[in-house]
Structure 1
């Protein structure tokens, strides 16, 4: 199943954050610029945690909750 237009997958969000931190020069620089803990940002990139609302906004995104039908019921 592809991601509908205007929506991003979890991998897309992590990739975007990775690009933004590279553009800033490092995870630390991007985190400091936006007032975040460096480890919190790194954990999002490494898929250890979901981005907070504040990190999501700093990325230029808005968070939305989606529900899906379990695979065994499709």
Structure 2
């Protein structure tokens, strides 16, 4: 989690995006139904958003990038 006295930029949240990409890559190896993929995406996104948003304001560009990757996964 980035700690900064300045406004948090998209670059500061690379760790978040990398974690999401790593999870998606692990899921692509498994054979999941569409409903299984949707359930994984919903639970992961909700968990990450709640955790990170409770600690600091994440730029909307980061969320948009994560959403785009998750849509490609589905």
Using the size of structure 1 for normalisation, the TM-score is 0.33
Larger-gyration structure (1/2): 1
**Structure with the bigger percentage of helix:** 2
State the structure with bigger RCO (CA 8 A, min sep 6), 1 or 2: 2
